[in-house]
Amino acid sequence: MADEPLVLGIETSCDETGVGIVRGTTLLADAVASSVNDHARFGGVVPEIASRAHLEEMVPTIQRALDTAGIKASDLDGIAVTAGPGLAGALLVGVSAAKAYAWALDKPLYGVNHLASHICVDQLEHGRLPEPTMALLVSGGHSSLLLSADITTDIRPLGATIDDAAGEAFDKVARVLGLGFPGGPAVDRLAREGDRKSIAFPRGLSSAKDPAYDFSFSGLKTAVARWVEAKRRAGEEVPVADVAASFQEAVTDVLTRKAVKACKENGVEHLMIGGGVAANSRLREMAQQRCDKAGIVLRVPRPGLCTDNGAMVAALGSEMVWRNRAPSSFDLSADSSLPVTEVSVPAATIEHGDLHAAAHLALG
């Protein structure tokens, strides 16, 4: 609809310079410039390299998005940007660019949360999110179960990883198997040729006394490394496809079991899965089977929208405008550890009482 908010979103929390343009829940452009190849030889993202790449790619990527969408910057209703969490220097490039464009164009600025954006992006594929929606966010930087009651103001963290993120575990296991970085897609491909039941790798935090919604992947990663090492020491060939399939099975088993449990125990009928690991084919398959069995509606955006991109930021920015949420002020700063409860900066709705309390606190 032409009267729906037209918003440009900028994402620079890690190694992707993403610029998306969204009208309402319709995606008009999704331009991404990735510096992933510049990091590959280091086996992980190098923050300084990522920041420099953002700086070089920012203006051309914005221009590309505007051209694809066929709009002028002056047509926009707002500029949204990831304010955190993420790499501090990388976030700063995006926040500075967003401020510059918003200031020059005289448009409202929305500093939003990266995790909330990962959830909101699903609106571009499946329409507005039901309230409440359970979100399982799994990527290289995060693994969390979040209950979204209102995607613009009310996200409650139920659980998270206590050590490695799910994607990190994929990347580390890929390194052990000599598959390169990032490892997730390579493990996913190789696992299709392996037997997922061949090795019984441990399922972290899965006993009755463990926290129900938290995750742990560090023990699993170590178990895989030890298993491979023992084979190599014995001079035996490592069945890499079987290791990949069995490891992937352990990760997806825990993720989907806990996500479905969280839905059932909180009376939530919709589950969305987002973040880079949501591209995993076995995770999608297992989640679908378990949701079908439990009567839960599963929503997973297409892989291109699951990994970091600007469209997800634009999607949340557009929703903020649509719901009349307060924009950020121009002293917005990047916050590398922005909590997920802060969907936008400043908090989108400040009750009068809260404002009073905040003033008292500030004045001592």
188 or 308: CB nearest Zn ion: 308
Q: For residue 229, count other CB atoms closer than 10 A to its CB.
A: 12
Which residues from 118-157 bind ligand KG4, rule CB under 6 A? 139-141
Residue 61 CB, nearest approach to ligand KG4 (Å): 16
The only residue of 78, 167, 301, 327 in contact with ligand KG4, by rule CB under 6 A: 167
Contact indicator for 65, 21 with CB cutoff of 8 Å: yes
Which 289-318 positions form the footprint of ligand KG4 (CB under 6 A)?
307-308
The partner in contact with residue 11, picked from Zn ion, ligand KG4, none with C-beta cut-offs of 5 to 8 angstroms by kind, is none
Which string of x and - marks every residue 175-194 that binds ligand KG4 (by CB under 6 A)?
A: -------xxxx--x------
How far apart CA 216 and CA 164 sit, in angstroms, is 7
Task: Assess 113 for contact with Zn ion (CB under 5 A).
Answer: no
Q: How far is the CB of 283 from ligand KG4 (least distance, A)?
A: 7
User: 140 touches which of ligand KG4, Zn ion, none (CB within 5 to 8 A by kind)?
Assistant: ligand KG4
| Residue 235 CB partners (closer than 8 Å, separation 6+) | none
Amino acid at the residue 232: R
308 closest CA partner among 4, 24, 18:
18
Q: Given candidates 84, 275, 301, 327, which one binds ligand KG4 under the rule CB under 6 A? A: 275
Mapped onto helix, strand or coil, the DSSP state of residue 276 is helix
CB of 145 to ligand KG4, least distance (A): 16
Nearer to ligand KG4, 70 or 304 (CB): 304
Q: What would the two tokens of residue 272 be?
A: 């969305």
Residue 339 structure tokens: 């909590």
Tell me phi and psi for residue 235, to 5 degrees.
Answer: 75, 15
Selected range binding ligand KG4 among 164-172, 209-217, 252-260, 314-322, rule: CB under 6 A: 164-172
Q: Which of 16, 164, 308, 319 binds Zn ion (CB under 5 A)?
A: 308
Residue type, 27: L
Nearest approach, Cβ of residue 194 and Zn ion (Å): 27
Q: Which two tokens stand for residue 109?
A: 């600025």
Q: State the minimum distance, in angstroms, from the CB of residue 354 to ligand KG4.
A: 31
Q: Cis bond leading into 211, ω under 30°? A: no
Judged by DSSP in three states, 78 sits in: strand
3-state secondary structure of 235: coil
Query: Which residues of this chain interact with ligand KG4, rule CB under 6 A?
Result: 14, 139-141, 167, 170-171, 182-185, 188, 275-277, 279-280, 307-308
